[in-house]
Structure 1
Amino acid sequence: MDKLKAVKKRFGYHEKREILEEHFNSGLSLSALSRKHQIHPVTLYSWKRSLCMSNKDENQSTSPTNIEEILAENENLKKRNKHLEKAVSNLTIDNSIL
């Protein structure tokens, strides 16, 4: 009797992401999703962990240009804050006179 060999399907990044988005959007458990797509649940958990880690790394980028942008934005926010504090102070004085 011939046994069929299991063919290991390789999934690309976009296929993995689509399957995981189905998990996040539909609320299906990873176990149910693994049965639907005939993928071992451990594989899905691995994909999910990898995707979460890659997103975390992308969000925490601290390249020199990114740091410069953050510092520039910080300076702009400090200036705006001082301007707004002065405006509030002037309005408070005006209201107390009335």
Structure 2
Amino acid sequence: MEKFYKRVPKEQRFLILSEHFNDGLSISELSRKYQIQPATIYKWREKMKKEAEPSSFDSKKLLEEIKHLKQENNLLKETVAQQALDITTLKQFNEFVKKKREEERLSMEKGSLKGRGSK
């Protein structure tokens, strides 16, 4: 009998391990379900745990990134608020212009009707 190895993409490994962590399926159940050796799944789990543990350097870097992202988020919120204000102002101005044009059109129509009646 020939042995063959299949390469499992990282996304698939993550989904399989999420069934273990989130749904409570045992490694042996996952092994049977996906036809993967239990030792392989244990290796994935250990690797995932190691990758999830940030070092002290990583923590410092993450805190700096969080600070930067918060600043960027605040800037974007201000930009969105300003754009919303601009949109509201432009809509109000547009309505004002429409009313003025309508008034001018009605005024011109009245003037042309008066001109016809006096002849």
In structure 2, the residue matched to 1:20 is 17
Give the share of equivalent positions with the same residue, in percent: 35
Residue in structure 2 matching 1:56, options 53, 57, 66:
53
Pairwise CA RMSD: 2.8
Q: Distance in 1 between matches of 2:36 and 2:49?
A: 19
Q: Which consecutive residues of structure 2, in runs of 5 or more, have no partner in the other structure?
A: 68-119
User: Displacement of 1:25 after TM fit?
Assistant: 2.2
Q: Which consecutive residues of structure 1, in runs of 5 or more, have no partner in the other structure?
A: 70-98
Aligned residue pairs total: 66
Assess, with a 3 A threshold, how the Cα gap between structure 1 residues 6 and 66 changes in structure 2: closer, same or farther: same
User: Residues 50-81 of structure 1: CA distance to partner in whole angstroms, max 9, x if unpaired?
Assistant: 111111127953228629x4xxxxxxxxxxxx
Report the AA paired with residue 38 of structure 1.
Q
TM-score by length of 1: 0.55
Residue in structure 2 matching 1:34, options 11, 26, 31:
31
TM-score by length of 2: 0.47
Larger radius of gyration: 2
Q: Kindly indicate which of the two structures has a greater share of residues assigned to helix.
A: 2
